[in-house]
Amino acid sequence: MQPSNPDKFTAKAWDAIVQAQEVARRFRQQYLEVEHVMVALIEQQGLADTVLSKAGLDPELILQELETFAQRQSGPSLGR
């Protein structure tokens, strides 16, 4: 079930959900998956980046890995 009530989310969380839908379209995927939400959160360069950095992880590297994964899910003919 897709979230449809922005009043149940913070503004940043709702922005991430909306952006995740755009991420899914960018990779020509019909279903919203967790990797789309993660890409959207990292692209916000906000709390997700802070949490990942404090955990000793590189947000940019994770973003690259997520995008690589999403591209593989789309098939070889994806053009960005």
Residue 30's Cβ-count burial label (10 Å; 0-12, 13-18, 19+) is exposed
Residue 4 maps to a domain: no
Residue 5 maps to a domain: no
Residue 48 maps to a domain: yes
CA distance 64 to 36: 12
Residue indicated by tokens 């995740």? 20
Number of domains in the chain: 1
pLDDT at 78: 46
Beta strands in the chain (DSSP E): none
Residue 65 maps to a domain: yes
Residue 60 maps to a domain: yes
Residue 51 maps to a domain: yes
Structural domain containing residue 69: 34-73
Q: What is the pLDDT of residues 26-49, one digit of tens each?
A: 999 988 999 999 999 999 989 999
CA distance 63 to 43: 8
CA distance 33 to 51: 21
